Chain A
Amino acid sequence: MIKKLIFLALIAGVGYMFWTGLAEYKAAESLNRISSYYAQDGLKEVGAANLVTAVVVTYRGLDTLGEVSILFLTASILGFFLVSGKEPKIPLQDSSEILKTASKLLEPIILLFGIYVFINGHLTPGGGFQGGAILASALILAYLANPNEGINKSIFRITESISGVVFVIIGILGIVLAGGFLDNRLIPVGSIGDLISAGIIPIIYIFVGMKVGAELSSIVTNLKHSPKNNVE
């Protein structure tokens, strides 16, 4: 009984904290200094038609590198704990013919759409993370359709490492040749709206997309291949 009362008091306290925050909240009438700078000068400076991408990759590129590193850490911890042992001796039940045929038809389209999303990240909504997740979902469809087949995990490891290294090298080249880490004026900005424009944003997003896709795929592959009695 006392326990319940304490819990209720805790919930009421947290609720009061949120309520005071909410009661004083007023929507900002105008953009603050930094966001108005992004809105006015971002398009000219970065040359990306999708301003979100300009902020994510150029102005806040270091944060993106941190996010990708966190994802890498998660994937490696999962790979560490889910040690892939022997292949299961009893083959899993085959999936239905409908799923197999549909997956053969859909996989190339999903892969192509994922690549489209991260190559066009500087023009349309989307980017490396979204495209990488779509690539990984194509792999999941392949696993669902063919439960007894697997992909060699080293391909994900190699893709992931190469993309990460290239991402950092491009960032360091920005220090040497342009204004700072991950500066996108490394190569000419080009005209706004073209596929090859916005400096190095498309290049970075291609590598981020491959890195995220490889990381998420390796997580799923590790989960699929780990022996059944290995999760404690």
Chain B
Amino acid sequence: METNLNIFLAIVIGVLALVFAIIAIYHKKLSIAIIASGAVSLMASILFLLLAAPDVAMTEAAIGSGLSVIIFFYALSKIRKQHD
């Protein structure tokens, strides 16, 4: 029963990650695309946790969905100010 629930959760999270990835590629607003790419990392970290790899999940959550999003936003703000 518990394994069935885990598989169901994994499929839901995988589909969500795909949806976020498509948003990240095709959305016209760059800020929303950056947030969506961070959400892909968040989904991946939940998947790692389900696969019993908490060490990898922590790295993915801290660096993939935390720091890299902030760095993308810094870069985006620099590009915008240059355009104005």
Q: How large is the interface on A (under 10, 10 to 19, 20 to 34, 35 or more residues)?
A: 20 to 34
Q: How far is the CA of A56 from the CA of B79 in the complex (A)?
A: 38
Q: Does B7 make an interface contact (CB < 8 A)?
A: no
CB pair A126 B58 closer than 8 Å: yes
Interface residues contributed by chain B, number (CB under 8 Å): 17
Q: How many A-B residue pairs have CB under 8 A?
A: 53
CB pair A127 B70 closer than 8 Å: no
CB pair A137 B58 closer than 8 Å: no
A interface secondary structure, majority: helix
Knowing A126-B55, A129-B59, A130-B55 touch, does A140 contact B70 (C-beta < 8 A)? Answer: yes
B interface secondary structure, majority: helix
Knowing A226-B78, A228-B81, A228-B82 touch, does A219 contact B71 (C-beta < 8 A)? Answer: yes
Q: Closest residue to A134 on the B side, CB-wise?
A: B62
Shortest distance from the beta carbon of A219 to any chain B beta carbon, whole Å: 7
Contacts of A134 in B (CB 8 A): 62
Contacts of A219 in B (CB 8 A): 71
Please name 29 pairs of A and B residues whose Cβ atoms are closer than 8 Å in the assembled complex, sorted by A.
Answer: A50-B55, A52-B55, A53-B55, A117-B58, A125-B57, A126-B54, A126-B58, A127-B55, A129-B59, A130-B62, A133-B59, A133-B62, A133-B67, A136-B67, A137-B66, A137-B67, A220-B67, A220-B70, A220-B71, A223-B74, A224-B74, A228-B78, A228-B81, A228-B82, A229-B81, A229-B82, A230-B78, A231-B75, A231-B82
